Amino acid sequence: MRTVHAADMLLAAEAGNHTARNLTITLFLVFVAVTLAITIWASRQTKTATDFYAGGRSFSGFQNGMAIGGDYMSAASFLGIAGIIALYGYDGFLYSIGFLVAWLVALLLVAELLRNSGRYTMADVLAFRMRQRPVRTAAAVSTITVSIFYLLAQMVGAGALVALLLGIKPGTTFLGMDAATAKVATIIMVGALMIIYVTVGGMKGTTYVQIVKAFLLMSGALLMTVLVLAKYNFNLSELLGAAAASSGKGDRLLEPGLRYGVEVAGNATQTFYNKMDLLSLGIALVLGTAGLPHILIRFYTVPTAKAARKSVLWAIGIIGTFYLLTLALGFGAAALVGGEAITAQDKAGNTAAPQLAEALGLEFFGGELGGAALLAIIAAVAFATILAVVAGLTLASSSSLAHDFYANVLKKGETSERQEVRVARISALVIGAISILLSIYAQNLNVAFLVALAFAVAASGNLPAILYSLFWRRFNTSGAVWAIYGGLLSAVLLVFFSPVVSGAATSMFPDHDWQWFPLSNPGILSIPFGFLCGWLGTIVSKEHDEEKYAELEVRALTGSGAH
């Protein structure tokens, strides 16, 4: 097996650098121009609140399935998982399996019932038979917290990637910007674009951006997979063997345990914690998806529960296929780029996929120019990926702020549709601006854990509240409020006292130490705790509205009176 060594890569990079950079920027500008045109078109179709929040409920199951894929497959799943597979092999696959299996929770328990009984936000279902103000306040707090965590991880990630993807090396500049300035500029640009997509295009514009992105991402991943497999005669075993050989890890690359649940020789306690951490991560990944507000609001964009079911089926097909492709991309990068060359560029492996693109271009499309071209395409796809996800997150949090907090808590439902949409647009601007500022502040901190934390909060607070609401007759206001705050606070506090925030070299604050909770992932404790809080909060309160429960259950199961 021929391996492209670090030195070769560097030479190719020097020569192709300029071409690749110009091409990346051109392609990215084309994407921005096309999506902005779509956004402006969408804004002309956006007249009512239903248009703004739910895209007029006019999307087909397939369109929404693509958009769900575009909303869900973040840079963390594309660059992150490909990188983890390239460096740690099998354990990256474990991550993607959790992300996929999670969709069964959404399909079987949540999507259709939520579509039938809600209107614009997660809180519409949670507050259906409860007192509006406490439940909507809790839901808005949770929605905005989860979305901002997720946003920060994506935006800081975008800033970290730009220097690598555009090849801005220390000591060199691009348009007069050094790597540090380019980072801040990228965060601001990503933030500004997501604000424009959401305020101008609403759900319609955001959905089309996500559909275009899903198409680009799938095409790019498919092309690279075919090339990788062609290189190894479409023989999976040959690819795996080459990956193991070039990774520097040997056969261990193909087995679990390099990254998660690491066995520390002679330290049984740490080994135990590491394995608990793996289980904890696994549970949060599977249960988190169906509690992510930016995913839940996508079910409102189709006309019926049946269409919501179809969109989840499409999403499972698209997302499942994508994660199978990342398996080939990750092992392909290990085989063709090699572990050493990947860590030389980025210790976390986030550049494994772009580096693989360059190596494949070199091999299949006529040398340096081909390498530069494929690298540019994949880098542009990575930016498109980030943009589509952050737009979805901004929309979810601004919808909740306007619809739940402003219209139903502050104004107690006494506001016009026009005014509510105006507030939603302003909210998107405010949340976008806050995210930009927080991201600039956090740009040099290790915030990659925030995605896993967002999943843990969604699984610990939102999911218990949603499931109890839909399936438990006795559930009430106090139960919903306890579940959301209990799950949210326990997940956030445990992580705050965990090694991801302080007390370790890889922490967010490596120079401080207030760590006492040994696991990086809180789910194994906070998820049961959230469910327990929901149960306890319910039984300590006598409140119960049998009529409203009958209405919710009948509407959820039959679609009667659905918006």
Partner 1 sequence: MSTDTPAPAASQSDKYLAVQRSDEFAGLRRALRGFVFPMTVAFFLWYALYVILSAYARDFMGTKLFGSNINVALVFGLLQFVSTFLIAWLYSRYADRKIDPVADRIRAEIGEVTHENGPRG
- Of the pair 323, 485, the CB lying nearest partner 1 is at 323
| Shortest distance (Å) from residue 418 CB to partner 1 | 11
| Shortest distance (Å) from residue 12 CB to partner 1 | 29
Angle formed by the axes of helices 352-364 and 367-399, nearest 10°: 150
| Shortest distance (Å) from residue 256 CB to partner 1 | 4
- Of the pair 256, 510, the CB lying nearest partner 1 is at 256
Picking from 141, 55, 135, 137, the residue whose alpha carbon sits closest to that of residue 466 is 135
Write out the DSSP string of 349-373. -TTHHHHHHHHHHHHHTTHHHHHHH
Q: How many whole angstroms separate alpha carbon 207 and alpha carbon 161?
A: 25
- Of the pair 368, 420, the CB lying nearest partner 1 is at 420
Using an 8 Å Cβ cutoff, are 115 and 125 in contact? no
- Of the pair 178, 553, the CB lying nearest partner 1 is at 553
| Shortest distance (Å) from residue 183 CB to partner 1 | 36
Write out the DSSP string of 422-484. HHHHHHHHHHHHHHHHHHHHHTTS--THHHHHHHHHIIIIIHHHHHHHHH-TT--HHHHHHHH
Picking from 482, 461, 479, the residue whose alpha carbon sits closest to that of residue 549 is 479
| Shortest distance (Å) from residue 23 CB to partner 1 | 34
- Of the pair 181, 304, the CB lying nearest partner 1 is at 304
| Shortest distance (Å) from residue 277 CB to partner 1 | 9
| Shortest distance (Å) from residue 38 CB to partner 1 | 28
Angle formed by the axes of helices 6-45 and 367-399, nearest 10°: 40
- Of the pair 255, 513, the CB lying nearest partner 1 is at 255
Distant-in-sequence, close-in-space partners of 205: CB < 8 Å, separation ≥ 6: 38, 39, 42, 43, 46, 197, 198
Using an 8 Å Cβ cutoff, are 563 and 305 in contact? no
| Shortest distance (Å) from residue 214 CB to partner 1 | 18
- Of the pair 221, 387, the CB lying nearest partner 1 is at 221
In angstroms, the first-to-last Cα distance of the chain is 59
Query: Residue 421: which region, alpha, beta or left (left: phi > 0; alpha: psi -120 to 50)?
Result: alpha
> Which secondary structure element, helix H or strand E, spans residue 257, and what is its range?
none
Using an 8 Å Cβ cutoff, are 485 and 496 in contact? no
3-state secondary structure of 347: coil
| Shortest distance (Å) from residue 410 CB to partner 1 | 13
- Of the pair 319, 376, the CB lying nearest partner 1 is at 319
> Which secondary structure element, helix H or strand E, spans residue 119, and what is its range?
none
| Shortest distance (Å) from residue 76 CB to partner 1 | 19
- Of the pair 474, 512, the CB lying nearest partner 1 is at 474
Q: How many whole angstroms separate alpha carbon 62 and alpha carbon 302?
A: 10
Q: How many whole angstroms separate alpha carbon 88 and alpha carbon 91?
A: 6
- Of the pair 193, 423, the CB lying nearest partner 1 is at 423
